[in-house]
Amino acid sequence: MPVSLRTFSLSLTSLCLLLPGDSLRAEDWHATLRAGAASAPRYSGSDERVVAPLVGVEIVCPYGVFLDSSRGLGWGFDEEDFGLSVYVGASDVRKDRKTGFKGSDELNGMGSIKSRPVIGLDGTYHMGPIILGASFEHALEKDDDDHDTGSSWNRLKLSISAPFYEGRYGKVTGGLNSQFGDSNYMRTWYGVSDAQASRSQFRAYKARAGLVSRGADLTWSLPLDEQWSVSTVLAVQYLSQEAADSPIVERRLQTSLAGQVVYTF
């Protein structure tokens, strides 16, 4: 069951209150609010698109404990050359019916992939202006009776990024990435079992572990003052042959565009 934002907030507050009183100075707390919209495929491999609102919050308290609506509750540090964070959050979902900003009717009969607790580890290493990144996620088993959509899975993302421009018009950063998944991940998101094939329009397909996709992104951020800024991200993912051969994949090249207003205090 996904942990609610309310539960995360209470946990974060409790952890911070346990720290020594001298540590809880106002300057040790940082908060970021984000609001915007994104245009993205309805699911990985879909040729349908949806424009959905983006709302996020991140709170960092002393000693690196953080609450991030996109990751969860965790701890991290960021030194001059190296950064590391660990967190517990909730995994992505995929609905087999079009429901609001989620899912697609094309997946009718496939069963919904429900959110489950996820444990994550993110690391970055700076080589001058170049940043190397690695992100690992382990999703816990959701339902041991549903092998198709409830299994635990592991995903690894490797990335490299660097700034292209920084000046009066803000900062532009570009990056490349590759994503890998184990057999449970590939089966959950791209496989079609015999049972799913009998209920849906798709033929059975067994997806093997390995490369999921290669991608690139371009981020432009523009500070308006010390607290306000705007950012735009264009991201492209090209599904690997193993994922692209899945009968649920309608388009191999996946693109998304997001714009946000960011307030930091």
Band of pLDDT at residue 18, cut at 50, 70 and 90? very low
Averaged over 126-144, what is the pLDDT? 94
Identify the DSSP state of 61: -
Band of pLDDT at residue 157, cut at 50, 70 and 90? very high
Mean pLDDT check: name the lowest of 19-23, 62-66, 189-193, 203-207: 19-23
What is the residue-averaged pLDDT of the chain?
90
Contact (CB, 8 A) for 38 and 52: yes
Note the pLDDT of residue 27.
53
Compute the distance between CA of residue 139 and CA of residue 93 in angstroms, rounded to an integer.
12
Note the pLDDT of residue 209.
97
Is residue 260 predicted with pLDDT exceeding 70? yes
Q: In this structure, what token pair is assigned to residue 135? A: 């992100």
Is residue 7 predicted with pLDDT exceeding 60? no
Contact (CB, 8 A) for 44 and 246: no
Mean pLDDT check: name the lowest of 51-55, 77-81, 158-162, 166-170: 77-81
Mean pLDDT check: name the lowest of 9-13, 83-87, 104-108, 166-170: 9-13
Compute the distance between CA of residue 217 and CA of residue 173 in angstroms, rounded to an integer.
8
Identify the DSSP state of 198: H
Cβ atoms within 10 Å of 21's Cβ, excluding its own: 7
Compute the distance between CA of residue 261 and CA of residue 200 in angstroms, rounded to an integer.
40
3-state secondary structure of 185: helix
In terms of Cα–Cα distance, which of 44, 54, 66, 67 is closest to 155? 44
**What amino acid occupies position 202?**
F
Measured between alpha carbons, how far apart are the two ends of the chain, in Å?
A: 31
Is residue 148 predicted with pLDDT exceeding 70? yes
